[in-house]
Chain A
């Protein structure tokens, strides 16, 4: 009894002290768009293995991250799902070193084999009840889905069948759980889920929507965050990004210059 009490007190003390410990030297905190978190995790693991520095990732929605950063959240870098929010942060004087780290690709996907034909003619038929997309007002992938449907001349007639996830991961969840028969998801999600081979899909041609440019910025003068950004830009980083189903900008530097 006495011994157990002692152990409990020790555990509580460790818990409280653990929470009070300052950020250990050799760490960088990165806010990352939910869709890119798995890829960045893989890159960060490689970076940590070679440099010995820890990369702490906080996945989340870009809108929430933006609100947190302008209110002083302690992130050293931000990998956004879009280009607009990093640009705003740069204008506010909170960020620097903005560049496009990946270009997202959209895929129409269904877990049902043979449901989606190679030309996605199914979209024009009435043979499904719900089509999941990310909310176009919130998520770049949702906006791309809207542009794709508009280009196909189906946006208006699709309205009663559209279900909107707050982000692309939720749109994916709606389809994966079977509640929506098909949906526009990110190619990166599609490539990294198990059991996806059984379904059917249509890779949306890149010219059907404005490119989904995902940009990153530095938020502090952390040397580790800077080194990590350089690692993401390196050949090893770019290889991983492409393995995870993203297109790569032609040249990171040229891209940044073109934006200015």
Chain B
């Protein structure tokens, strides 16, 4: 049923979603922490920028990325200056695109989780002599666990379904940039509805199970806490 190309696309998609989510959790944590705690007037601007990928059509992101990553664009020029190659049509390029595309889906839940903790637990921990790093690692992080679960699953699932950005900067290379949604698109366009159905069903199943797990887990956590 599934051909070699389909397996390649499925594996590539999972790898892209995993790497993107890990990087987003790493850069999303300090960003969300800052957004949740700061009183700086710059917050509104950063808030707006973080939310932009939620609003913009993926084709807009893809179009700007195509220009930015190209040899005449800022990122492409930088890559050439440090002796590298421009990133369009590469897996690394897709990772960059996916990080931008899924940014709000990771940062927003983390930001909400950090905001919900409030100042009090942190102040109590400080009174008890915990260092700032200690306070963050042993108080804030555990309390923000539901936020982390939501952020991880949403970031992963959203990257799985990415299409417009990949279409614009991918170049449809099997094993490097041909992700599942692109394969499905090709199958539909070439009237291979059977193969399109199969891959679409797989994507639908994975996405549903992911969302189901996040809602079930978070409910479980709330019940345990209560």
Q: A137-B186, A179-B86, A179-B89 are in contact. Are A164 and B71 (CB under 8 A)?
A: no
Known contacts: A178-B71, A179-B66, A179-B70. The answer to whether A61 contacts B171 by CB under 8 A is: no
Known contacts A173-B66, A178-B71; decide if A129 and B85 are in contact (CB<8 Å). yes
Give the segment of B36-44, B133-141, B188-196 that binds chain A: B188-196
Given contacts A63-B190, A178-B72, contact A135 B66 (CB under 8 A): no
Jot down 26 A-B pairs with beta carbons below 8 A, ordered by A.
Answer: A61-B189, A63-B188, A63-B191, A67-B188, A130-B171, A132-B171, A137-B186, A138-B190, A162-B173, A163-B171, A164-B171, A164-B172, A164-B173, A165-B172, A166-B172, A166-B185, A174-B88, A174-B171, A177-B70, A177-B72, A177-B88, A178-B70, A179-B71, A179-B88, A179-B89, A180-B171
Q: Could you say which residues of chain A place their CB within 8 Å of the CB of B191? A: 63, 66
User: Which residues in A have some Cβ–Cβ distance to B below 8 Å?
Assistant: 61, 63-64, 66-67, 129-130, 132, 135, 137-138, 162-166, 170, 173-174, 177-180
- Chain B residues with a Cβ closer than 8 Å to the other chain, count: 23
Measured CB to CB, the nearest residue on chain B to A167 is B189
Q: In the complex, what's the smallest C-beta–C-beta distance from B107 to chain A, in angstroms?
A: 29
Distance in angstroms between the alpha carbons of A64 and B167 in the assembled complex = 16
Q: Which residue of B lies closest to A84 (CB)?
A: B191
A163 touches B173 (CB 8 A): yes
- Find chain B residues with CB under 8 A from A177 CB: 66-67, 70, 72, 88
Q: Residues on B close to A: CB < 8 A?
A: 66-67, 69-72, 76, 85-86, 88-89, 167-169, 171-173, 185-186, 188-191
B172→A135 contact, CB < 8 A: yes
CA gap between A165 and B173 in the complex, in Å = 10
A138 to B185, CA, bound (A): 10
Residues in chain B near residue A165, CB distance under 8 A: 171-172
Which of B69, B185, B186, B188 touches A179 (beta carbons < 8 Å)? B69
B157 to chain A, nearest CB (A): 24
Cβ contacts under 8 Å, B88 to chain A: 174, 177, 179
In the bound assembly, the distance between CA atoms of A61 and B71 in angstroms comes to 28
Contacts of A163 in B (CB 8 A): 89, 171-173
